[in-house]
Amino acid sequence: MSALGETTVARGGPLRSLNALAKLAGPVPVMIALVLTRGVPLPLAFAVFAALVLLVGARLGLRWILVILLGVPAFAAVLGVSFGIWVDPATLPADAAGSELVLAQLGEWRFTGAMYLVGLATALRIAAIILLAFVSGLTTTGAELVRALVQQLRVPYRLGYTALAAMRFVPRFGHELEVIRAARRVRGVDRGRGPIAWLRGTVGLAVPLLASAIRHAERVALAMDARAFGAHDSRTERTISRWRRRDTVFVLGFWLVSALLWWAVETAVA
């Protein structure tokens, strides 16, 4: 979210002052566990949990509060339909909840409540994972993450800071792509439909974009070399990334609350 610029979506709040790695270490195991779940209640509970952590822990603008409270739920509801219509009713048990409820009908094909619930479970898992990713994504800058990776995890600085420099290419290529698209429209080569025309068009875009990307990367590399990047085994860190007690507390607390929540939901459903 915030790889560019030294600002984050969050304008402040306790999450801003945590180490970037703490904000990853807390949610990531939960995100992985959620991938393996089924059903609606667990992802729903964790989506609500992540939203609460964000709303309490980060000072967000109105736009992002609306994204979290309305945007993500609406996204999950719609995505649930898209996933649901692909569910094969034959694979569902006959007594599955909602199988009597017909939401839509097209000839012989029926979209039942049971199908929607299966789709919704998948959509909610995605929504919960997105919200958990927001916990660090909306409150961490790219530079903070790289500093934490280099200073705490001992990732080689050449890798970390090169990745950061490469992030600056993104808006440039976006602009370049726009120009190339316009140029191809002028030349009349954007005609044709279907996968083959699409493939040809994409390859046609890729050649000039790659040529320019490689040239740009070479120039940036020369400029970095000329400023002694990579000359020594370490470099001065002007900003020290610290792992404080509150980071440990946050990670352990996040895990503990998550485990309790998981257990509570599982027992309530059973």
- Smaller CB separation from another protein, 236 or 267: 236
Q: Which is nearer to another protein, 48 or 220 (CB)?
A: 220
Nearer of residues 66 and 223 to another protein, judged by Cβ? 223
In whole angstroms, how large is the CA radius of gyration of the chain?
A: 24
When the beta carbons of 62 and 228 are compared against another protein, the nearer one is 228
Give 70 or 222: the residue with its C-beta nearer to another protein. 222
Query: Shortest distance, CB of residue 141 to another protein, whole angstroms?
Result: 8
Give the residues lining the site for another protein (CB under 8 A).
Answer: 4-6, 141-143, 161, 164-165, 168, 171-172, 176, 179-180, 182-191, 204, 207-208, 211-212, 216, 219-232, 234-238
The b-or-e profile of 134-171 (16+ CB within 10 A means b, else e) is: bbbbbbbbbbbbbbbbbbbeeeebeebbbebeeeeeee
Report whether 31 contacts 129 (CB < 8 A). yes
Q: Least CB distance from residue 158 to another protein, whole Å?
A: 10
Nearest-angstrom CA–CA distance, 165 and 44: 38
Inter-residue contact 38 to 121 (CB < 8 Å): yes
Nearest alpha-carbon partner for 157 in 219, 244, 231, 242: 231
Burial of 251 (0-12, 13-18, 19+ CB in 10 A): buried
Quote the least distance from Cβ 193 to another protein, whole Å. Answer: 15
Tell me the closest approach of the beta carbon of residue 102 to another protein, in angstroms: 40
Q: How far is the CB of 104 from another protein (least distance, A)?
A: 33
Q: Return d(Cα 102, Cα 98) in angstroms, integer.
A: 8
Cβ at position 154, least distance to another protein in Å:
17
Cα–Cα dist 151/155, whole Å: 8
For residues 110 and 216, which CB has a smaller minimum distance to another protein in the complex? 216
Give the C-alpha separation, 168 to 158, whole Å.
16
Helix (H), strand (E) at residue 106 = strand 102-106
